[in-house]
């Protein structure tokens, strides 16, 4: 016959084992969901994924990003990086926008 103290300790260990058996799979599921969500966010920021959604990266031919029409020269050349390659392009005109909101309107030249 086991002493009472050992019986209580055995019962406590069984209880902890049961709790671990239930909580570990839930913790792993939660961690997997969080990892999947972070992976999706990272994939959305992948430059190649952005290009495949129809965006282009413009550079000055030396690898420096062009982010403003003020960086362009009419008649000058730029390089457009697209999802499936590059294109050298010539600037025909510069049309600054009226506002920098979500749908900027090109300003017409008179």
pLDDT tens digits along 67-93: 999 999 999 999 999 999 999 999 999
Query: pLDDT-based confidence at 101, cuts 50/70/90?
Result: low
pTM of the entire structure? 0.53
More confident residue, 73 or 1: 73
pLDDT at 58 over 80: yes
Question: Rounded to whole angstroms, how far apart are CA atoms 57 and 102?
Answer: 18
Residue 72 near residue 90 (C-beta atoms within 8 A): no
pLDDT tens digits along 10-38: 889 999 988 888 888 888 999 999 999 99
Question: Rounded to whole angstroms, how far apart are CA atoms 10 and 6?
Answer: 6
């Amino acid at each position: 016959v086991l002493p009472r103290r050992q019986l209580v300790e055995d019962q406590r260990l069984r209880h902890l084992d049961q709790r671990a058996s239930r909580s570990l799979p839930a913790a792993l599921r939660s961690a997997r969901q969080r990892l999947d969500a972070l992976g999706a966010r990272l994939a959305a920021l992948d430059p190649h994924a952005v290009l495949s959604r129809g965006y282009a990266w413009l550079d000055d031919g030396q690898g420096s990003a062009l982010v403003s029409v003020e960086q362009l020269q009419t008649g000058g050349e730029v390089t457009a990086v697209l999802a499936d390659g590059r294109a050298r392009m010539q600037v025909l005109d510069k049309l600054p926008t009226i506002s920098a909101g979500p749908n900027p309107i090109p300003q017409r030249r008179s």
